[in-house]
Structure 1
Amino acid sequence: MRPPLEIRAALPTDKQRWFILWQGYLDFYQTELSVEQSSLTWQRILDPEFNMKCAVAIDDGLIVGFTTYSLQNSTWSENGHCYLEDLFVDPAVRGKGVGRALIEYVKSYAIENNCSRLYWNTDEDNATARKLYDTYTLESGKRQYRIALN
């Protein structure tokens, strides 16, 4: 019998596999980050003083997915929000509940921290992810605007 899927906070020993999945995530979004920026992201994940968390999904001893998330203050909420920033599942195990398990982990974290909302963004054409996300709620109808500052 296979062990159940495990979701837990990222540990320093997860670095090598996280970097492989992180690169898959960047490739999916057709973007490049410097090795230095990716290393900084990993350092931030492990820094208890930095407002960034990471959870990993482990299936049969192998990390097969991750999510990053953080708490955010809000002018619209007494308790603030939880922002799920990144979610990636190894394509070899997609459709097996890994993404949902990661979202549920972050949702539990948001509830434990009395957040009034858990939210995330995805590209409009990301049909695979939206199939999962739409089972939670329909997209908000908001558009995100970005101004590059450097």
Structure 2
Amino acid sequence: MTTSAQDPGTPRWVVRPVAEADFPVWRGLFAQYCAFYQVDLTEEHAELVWSWIHDPAHEVEGLVVTDQAGTPVGLAHYRAFARPLRGAVGGFLDDLFVDQAARGSGAVDALFERLRQLAAERGWNTVRWITSETNYRARSKYDRVATRTPFLTYDMAPAEPEN
């Protein structure tokens, strides 16, 4: 949470779990995020992710960062992941997005700070994420808040079903 320049005691950004009432604004933010990565967001896709976020038995959780009016301007989807090589558990940040109008304002810093707090509270030894190599603006922020790793990411398609 950061404070406002107008009133030092008033939080400028509030980070909180995604609430049921956030769906319309969350969906708009998630649609922008998907569009950036050239992923078509169908209603079925949005509703599936929304159901994951609100299912306590599912691993995915969600945060929003809100402005002073309480309107979400950014989102983060994250989950715990086991790290057998380290004998530890980390946090994985699957999705991070801040609306264009709120970029450069500290909204993403508030999200990162809450993720750092969650890592400490849950005993995670790291918070990890991936981004596009060409996402230069985001990478300039990431280079200031985290350490770039030397690892590459690979995706392998599942086997074709046998007849």
Q: TM-score, normalised by structure 1?
A: 0.94
SS of the equivalent of 1:134 reads helix
Per the TM alignment, residue 144 of structure 1 is displaced from its structure 2 partner at its CA by 0.4
Contact 2:60 2:79 in 1 (8 A): yes
Per the TM alignment, residue 78 of structure 1 is displaced from its structure 2 partner at its CA by 3.1
Name 2:112's counterpart in structure 1. 103
Deviation digits for residues 40-88 of structure 1, max 9, x if unmatched? Answer: 0001101111111100000122110000000011212333110011000
Per the TM alignment, residue 102 of structure 1 is displaced from its structure 2 partner at its CA by 0.6
Aligned-pair Cα RMSD in Å: 1.4
Alignment of 1:80 with 2:85, yes or no, is: no
Contact 1:56 1:67 in 2 (8 A): yes
- AA partner of residue 118 (structure 1): V
Name 1:35's counterpart in structure 2. 43
CA–CA distance in 1 between the matches of 2:146 and 2:45?
A: 32
Deviation digits for residues 6-47 of structure 1, max 9, x if unmatched? Answer: 000111011110000000001111111332121100011011
Gaps of 5+ in 1: none
SS of the equivalent of 2:83 reads coil
Which of structures 1 and 2 has the bigger CA Rg?
2
SS of the equivalent of 1:83 reads strand
The percentage of counterpart residues that share the same residue type is 31
Alignment of 1:94 with 2:103, yes or no, is: yes
Name 2:3's counterpart in structure 1. none
Contact 2:31 2:41 in 1 (8 A): no
Alignment of 1:16 with 2:24, yes or no, is: yes
Q: TM-score, normalised by structure 2?
A: 0.87
Residues 1-150 of structure 1 mapped to structure 2, 5 A cutoff: 1=6, 3-4=10-11, 5-61=13-69, 62-149=71-158
Per the TM alignment, residue 148 of structure 1 is displaced from its structure 2 partner at its CA by 2.6
Task: Tell which deviates more after alignment, 1-10 or 37-46.
Answer: 1-10
Contact 1:100 1:132 in 2 (8 A): no
- AA partner of residue 61 (structure 2): K
CA–CA distance in 2 between the matches of 1:113 and 1:55?
A: 16
Task: Tell which deviates more after alignment, 41-50 or 28-37.
Answer: 28-37
CA–CA distance in 1 between the matches of 2:150 and 2:88?
A: 23
Per the TM alignment, residue 89 of structure 1 is displaced from its structure 2 partner at its CA by 0.2
- AA partner of residue 144 (structure 1): T
Gaps of 5+ in 2: 1-5
Per the TM alignment, residue 94 of structure 1 is displaced from its structure 2 partner at its CA by 0.3
